């Protein structure tokens, strides 16, 4: 969404600025428009009910991150009296005003969808969210026992009086604000009760169909927490704090210790948002606002659960009739051995490269199996791998530990600055170190975001290197939910490149002349700009298709504008933030932008360039954002095998043909749902293609995929 620029210009300059067509969309408002597309799934009656509940939770979690990172950063800019820092030229204070307006609209939609539509529909389906006040004596007796046995022992009421200052309210915690009155002195006090996050968010009644919000159960028993006092009123509330990690890495002697110290400091980050339920008294609202050093514009009222992210617990209910039909990822035929056994992956890679497309292709029988086989194989000498985000019970980490125990050289590059996963990554790093793995914590000033694994194996012909490069994390859980692509290869040039990359990550190498891959921050930006410019040299045959999570980088956007002006047809599939304005006459006539939002999180980065009929395909860990191109270690790798190019072509074609999940960004800066004509759902289509590929291999049918136009 573009908003008017109100800058400190002379009257003439002001008029000129207002008359000029904006070149870029605002990043923060574009983030909110992605949240709006997620929110639309909660409003869609064709989406199964518990999936709609899940999307309520995802919307809320996205909004949490937006506030504790992006809004927190804007507030810091306002406090520092900084002017515009992004290409759109919008002042930070103006952005905050526009953000509040849009968030208020989105929260109203969330309340309407959840309270007005989803809750009644769930009740009709036998899943009822009920109020304490609606329960009969038998139900209350059951919940009293639950409260006494499981909840009361872990509650800690905190009063505010001359001897007890206002308590620290932790980030994203759900709380009850309570006003108590001493019947003897008539003195009134404020108290806070934290709703423990370790307890079930919704308490089930014996019939297994009715659920009471935990905060209501606690509120009904406040007299036990404040015996002898009168409970005047109570209200739920929630606080969001600045939670972005800020490190002075150049001054840190120990990066791991510095991250741990910053995480402890982060707990006391400045408050940036107060969420309240309807009906909170002015007295309590003003007290919370003042104590948290917030303004009225930082307060958001929500009709419905104040912690919608907790709704994910409802999605876990065993009600398959209210969820998407389950899909079992397939094992690619080339990785399938005799009698459904796992194939020898090294033998396969000596013959051909393998492209995986998750979650349609199994992560377990490809990437995890690759690392597991390497850990067992006596001919494997070394395994080197980056770990940005991994799952809590990671088979890959276990394989690395087993490899070390078997005497192999194992190196794990663990990015301890991965936002939200810092503590988990620190724990994994220590577990790996204790097992004898060589652990590296990343580079000063850069996040290591690339997804790369290198296996060095001694063979009769000499040393051979086997590689995996992907767009997604080495995480078993997200591999079932995130759409990603990955390449397994024994290409000697790529193996040599990864050797140089790991030497750069673990030592003092400064190599920048890689053979096949390009690496950020050294050469990836230049390579991408060169590829775009090359298409513009022959606009009649020029064609660019880019699938990514975010498009923010000004240089890349300007290069795409220039290619469009020269006549190159450009299709962009951008899941989230997009600062490019498509279809604007004289600026981007030949650019189309669409976004796919559905069951799976579209996470892959695929880049296609026609190259005068000699098409080039690339997969990458990097989006087109300044942070990816300038502040992270990223890798982009070409996919040269014609069969694998056909697979990527298949993916891009389905993305461009989708009219069930797709949204399009118009020249008026508005996102609109693509009209349904053929009803093609790209994610269902790719599921079908994965199953068809298995059948085709079994039946000996080698028909290829459809072609890009």
Catalytic positions = 449
| Cα–Cα distance measured from residue 550 to residue 531, given in angstroms and rounded to the nearest whole number | 19
d(C-alpha 112, C-alpha 278), whole Å? 14
Q: Buried b vs exposed e over 425-446: b needs ≥16 C-beta within 10 Å?
A: bbebbebbeebebebbbbbeeb
Helix (H, G, I), strand (E, B) or coil at 480: helix
CA 397, 424, 402: angle at the middle one, nearest 5? 15
Closest CA to 331 of 359, 355, 366: 366
Who contacts 329 (Cβ-Cβ below 8 Å, separation ≥6)?
A: 358, 359, 360, 361, 362, 363, 364, 480, 690
**DSSP string spanning 421-479?**
-HHHHHHHHHHHHHHT-EEE--BTTBEE--EEEEEEEEETTEEEEEEEEESS-S-TTGG
| Pairing state between β 128-129 and 591-596 | unpaired
219: which DSSP letter? Answer: H
**Cα–Cα distance measured from residue 103 to residue 71, given in angstroms and rounded to the nearest whole number:** 12
Q: What is the sign of the dihedral through the CA atoms of 298, 302, 305 and 308?
A: negative
Backbone φ and ψ of 694, nearest 5°: -65, -45
Q: Is 314 helix (H, G, I), strand (E, B) or coil?
A: helix
CB within 8 Å of 599: residues ≥ 6 apart: 51, 324, 683
How would you class 138 by CB atoms within 10 Å of its CB: exposed for 0-12, middle for 13-18, buried for 19 or more? exposed
Spatial separation of the C-alpha atoms in residues 352 and 362, rounded to whole Å: 18
Task: Answer whether 622's CB lies under 8 Å from 632's CB.
Answer: yes
**Token digits of residue 365:** 């029988």
Tokens found for residue 614: 């000699």
**Pair 562, 535: CB distance under 8 Å:** no
Residue with tokens 């002195």: 185
The long-range contacts involving 674-680, CB below 8 angstroms and separated by at least 24 positions, are: 674/594, 680/654
Q: Yes or no: say if 599 and 324 are a contact pair by the CB < 8 Å rule.
A: yes
Looking at the chain, how many residues does it have?
A: 709
- CA distances (Å), origin 473, targets 109, 289, 368: 33, 40, 12
């Amino acid at each position: 969404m573009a908003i008017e620029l109100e800058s400190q210009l002379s009257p003439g300059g002001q008029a000129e600025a207002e008359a000029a067509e904006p070149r870029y969309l605002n990043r923060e408002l574009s983030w909110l428009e992605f949240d709006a597309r997620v929110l639309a799934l909660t409003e869609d009656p064709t989406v199964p009910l518990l999936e709609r509940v899940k999307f309520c939770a995802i919307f809320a979690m996205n909004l949490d991150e937006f506030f504790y990172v992006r809004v927190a950063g804007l507030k810091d800019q306002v406090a520092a009296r900084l002017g515009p820092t992004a290409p759109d030229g919008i002042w930070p204070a103006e952005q905050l005003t526009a953000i509040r307006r849009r968030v208020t609209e989105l929260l109203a939609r969330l309340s309407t969808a959840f309270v007005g539509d989803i809750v009644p529909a769930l009740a009709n389906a036998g899943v009822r969210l009920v109020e304490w006040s609606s329960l009969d004596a038998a139900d209350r007796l059951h919940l009293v026992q639950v409260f006494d046995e499981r909840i009361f022992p872990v509650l800690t009421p905190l009063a505010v009086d001359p001897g007890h200052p206002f308590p620290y309210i932790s980030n994203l915690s759900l709380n009850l604000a309570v006003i108590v009155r001493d019947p003897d002195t008539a003195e009134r006090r404020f108290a806070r009760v934290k709703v423990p996050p370790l307890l079930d968010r919704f308490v089930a009644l014996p019939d297994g169909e009715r659920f009471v919000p935990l905060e209501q159960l606690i509120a009904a028993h406040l007299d036990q927490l404040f015996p002898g006092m009168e409970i005047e009123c109570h209200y739920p509330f929630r606080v969001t704090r600045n939670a972005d990690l800020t490190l002075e890495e150049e001054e840190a002697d120990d990066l791991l210790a510095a991250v741990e110290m910053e995480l402890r400091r982060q707990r006391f980050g400045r408050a940036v948002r107060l969420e309240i339920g309807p009906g909170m008294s002015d007295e309590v609202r003003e007290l919370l606002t003042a104590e948290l050093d917030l303004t009225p514009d930082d307060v958001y009222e929500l009709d419905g659960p104040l912690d919608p992210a907790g709704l994910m617990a409802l999605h876990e209910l065993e009600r398959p009739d209210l969820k998407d039909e389950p899909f079992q990822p397939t094992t690619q035929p080339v990785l399938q051995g005799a009698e459904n056994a796992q194939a020898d992956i090294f033998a396969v890679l000596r013959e051909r490269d393998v492209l995986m497309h998750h979650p349609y292709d199994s992560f377990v029988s490809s990437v995890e199996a690759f690392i597991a086989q390497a850990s067992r194989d006596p001919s494997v000498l070394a395994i080197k791998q980056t770990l940005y985000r991994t799952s809590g019970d990671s088979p890959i980490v276990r394989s690395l530990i087993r490899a070390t125990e078997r005497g192999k050289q194992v190196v794990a590059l663990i990015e301890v600055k991965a936002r939200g996963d810092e503590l988990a990554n620190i724990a994994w790093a220590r577990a790996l170190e204790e097992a004898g793995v060589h652990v590296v914590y990343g580079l000063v000033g850069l996040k290591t975001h690339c997804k790369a694994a290198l296996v060095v194996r001694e063979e009769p012909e000499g040393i051979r290197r086997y590689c995996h490069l992907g767009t997604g994390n080495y995480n078993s859980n997200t591999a079932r939910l995130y759409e990603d692509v990955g390449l397994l290869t024994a290409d000697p040039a790529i193996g040599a490149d990864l050797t140089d990359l790991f030497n750069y990550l673990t030592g003092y190498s400064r190599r920048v002349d890689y053979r096949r891959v390009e690496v950020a921050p050294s050469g990836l930006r230049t390579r991408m700009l060169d590829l775009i410019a090359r298409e513009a040299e022959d606009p009649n045959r020029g064609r660019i298709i880019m699938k990514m999570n975010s498009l923010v980088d000004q240089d890349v956007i300007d290069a795409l504008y220039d290619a469009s002006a020269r006549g190159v047809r450009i299709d962009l599939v951008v899941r989230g933030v997009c600062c490019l304005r498509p279809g604007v006459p004289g600026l981007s006539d030949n650019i189309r932008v669409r976004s796919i939002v559905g069951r799976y999180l579209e996470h892959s980065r695929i880049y296609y360039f026609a190259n005068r009929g000699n098409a080039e395909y690339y997969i990458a860990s990097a989006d087109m954002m300044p942070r990816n191109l300038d502040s992270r270690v990223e890798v982009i790798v070409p996919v040269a095998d014609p069969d694998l190019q056909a697979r990527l072509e298949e993916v891009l074609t389905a993305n461009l043909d989708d009219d069930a999940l797709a949204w399009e960004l118009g020249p008026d800066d508005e996102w609109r749902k693509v009209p349904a004509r053929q009803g093609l759902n790209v994610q269902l289509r790719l599921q079908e293609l994965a199953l068809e590929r298995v059948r085709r291999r079994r039946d000996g049918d080698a028909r290829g995929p459809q072609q890009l136009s």
